[in-house]
Amino acid sequence: MVLLVLLVISIVLQFFAAGIAIRLTRKTKFSSSWILITIALVLMCVMRFDEFAHKLSDRTDGRTDMIVMREEYYVWVGILTSFCFAVGIFMVKKVLNYLALREEQRRNSEKRLLSAVIRAEENQRQIISKELHDGLGPLLSSVRMSVSALLQQPLDATQKEILTNTEYVVNEAVKSLTEISNNLSPHILDNFGVARALNTFVHKLQPMCPATRIVLRTEGMRDLRFERDREVILYRVVCELINNALKHAGAANLTIDMQADGDRISVRVADDGCGFDPETEPTGMGLSNIASRISSIHGELTLDSRPGGGGTRVSIRIATR
């Protein structure tokens, strides 16, 4: 009796599953793999029902008026069920492989788009930097020379003080212009590479942050050059990580290690600051933007940080081409 009850439950579940599969056929746009799996489920319902009929017939000594499938038909139904399942699953595998391929193509397209955006951004930075350096720079230099020439003339104390202040302001404007131009598109990066550019960046930054000792080590990197896009992205990312550490970590020591190993470059930025929970990124850290930039050049980025004084360690690994 228990076996009959279990068979009835099995038949109900099989019919329920087959019914759902049939209803979903249209939503799957009549996919061949889904149709085959649905047919297999229906055939399994037939087999379960036949098993129930056999058991019920045996229990009543053949007095039950139910159609019982002949043994050879039962075997053929089982073979057909297995065939439908096997072909359906095989076709599903092909569909899944196709979807995985499309997903990979989508990710590659996103990376290419991001690379194009970054390249366009850097080109625009370069244009603005060149306009400032070659356009406004000479004009300010002319003003400075004119003021210097006027200071050589016989002037009273008031006039001389005005011109001296004017010369000081023009000199500061030239310094600011040069700094802005270099920040937009570091000329040393284009001429000497990322290691020299970062070294210059750290030397300029250190006097402004006396509370934090910044150490930059560039083992095997001094004269290494590679693709400009990768150099620019690596430079921007490391500068951003350094600024983040100085702004948010409150660290006493900040270390940047860069190493060249064959055709790959490894960078490790570590501080002994307060740390943070990477799952709840602090506002303004821009870690997702950093990760996107590294991903656009098929690089690897790992982050290790713990709140409460654990410090932060960021590791980057990229290929030179």
The pTM of the whole model exceeds 0.75: no
Q: Which of 137, 179, 34 is nearest to 187 (CA)?
A: 179
At 310 the pLDDT is 76
CA gap 63, 30 in Å, rounded: 43
Highest mean pLDDT among 9-13, 113-117, 171-175, 315-319: 315-319
Rounded to a whole number of angstroms, the distance between the first and last alpha carbons of the chain is 72
Give me the torsion for CA of 65, 70, 76, 78, rounded to 10°. 50
Q: Please give the pLDDT value at position 246.
A: 87
Least confidently predicted of 40-44, 58-62, 188-192, 302-306: 58-62
Q: State pLDDT tens for residues 26-41.
A: 776 667 777 888 888 8
More confident residue, 185 or 246: 246
The superfamily (CATH) of domain 187-319 is Histidine kinase-like ATPase, C-terminal domain (3.30.565.10)
Higher-confidence residue: 196 or 134? 196
Q: How far apart are CA 177 and CA 229, in angstroms?
A: 25
Q: Average model confidence (pLDDT) for the chain?
A: 80
pLDDT band at 68 (very low <50, low <70, confident <90, very high): low
Structure tokens at 107: 């990710």
pLDDT at res. 254: 92
